[in-house]
Structure 1
C-alpha cells in the first residue's frame, strides 16, 4: 500500500499538544502515512521573521492532506494565506446535537 503524505503544522500553544494526540490516533490505524512536519505561527514568526515560510507552503503543496494545530496572534495571517495559496473556500465547523443535552 502506498503511503499518504500528510503535512503536519503544530503551530503554537495547544496546537503542539493537540497534534501529538492526533498523530497518535493516526499511528494506531492500519494505514501508511508519511508525516511531513512544517512550521507556522507566532514562534515561527519570532524565529524566522515570517508566520508562514515558503518551505511550509512547499510541504503543504506536496501533501495529500494537512493537519494544522493552532496559531496565536498570527493565526489570521497563516490561515488566510493557506486558503488563498491553495484555493480553499470553505471553513467547515461541524455541529452535532446530542440527545438529552440542552442546546440553543
Structure 2
C-alpha cells in the first residue's frame, strides 16, 4: 500500500519517525513516499504545499501528516479542499486515576 509521508515541521518530524518505526514493525508491506510541506518547505521553495506534494498524496492510499507551524492553514486547508477531507483525527485515551476535563 502506498502511503504519503509528510513530516512537516517541529515535533511532526519526531512523531513521524516514531510512527514509521511502528508501521515498519507490522507484518505488512507499505511503500512510503515522502513529501514536503510546512514552514521549512515554504522557506526553501516559496510555497508551503508544493504541487509535487499534492501529486504524491493523490497517488497514495493514505497520508500521514506530522505537523505544520505558521503555515498550517495553507497546508491543512488546501489538503482538505483538494482531497475532500473532513476529519482531523487525534486519538486519545483516558487513564484510570488521572483527572480529565
Both proteins in one fold, TM over 0.5: yes
Instruction: Give the TM-score of the pair, scaled to structure 2.
Output: 0.93
RMSD: 1.1
Unaligned stretches of 5+ in structure 2? Answer: none
Unaligned stretches of 5+ in structure 1? Answer: none
Which deviates the most, 35-44 or 13-22? 13-22
Distance in 2, Cα, partners of 1:25 & 1:39: 21
When the two structures are aligned, how many residues end up with a matched partner? 101
Distance in 1, Cα, partners of 2:100 & 2:19: 28
Distance in 1, Cα, partners of 2:4 & 2:84: 17
Which deviates the most, 85-94 or 37-46? 85-94
Query: Structure 1 residue 92: deviation in Å?
Result: 3.2
Distance in 1, Cα, partners of 2:100 & 2:22: 29
Q: Deviations over 1:9-44 (max 9, x none)?
A: 001111111111110100000000000000000010
* Distance change >3 Å, CA 94–CA 5, structure 1 → 2: same
Whether 1:97 and 2:94 are equivalent positions in the alignment is: yes
Distance in 1, Cα, partners of 2:82 & 2:13: 24
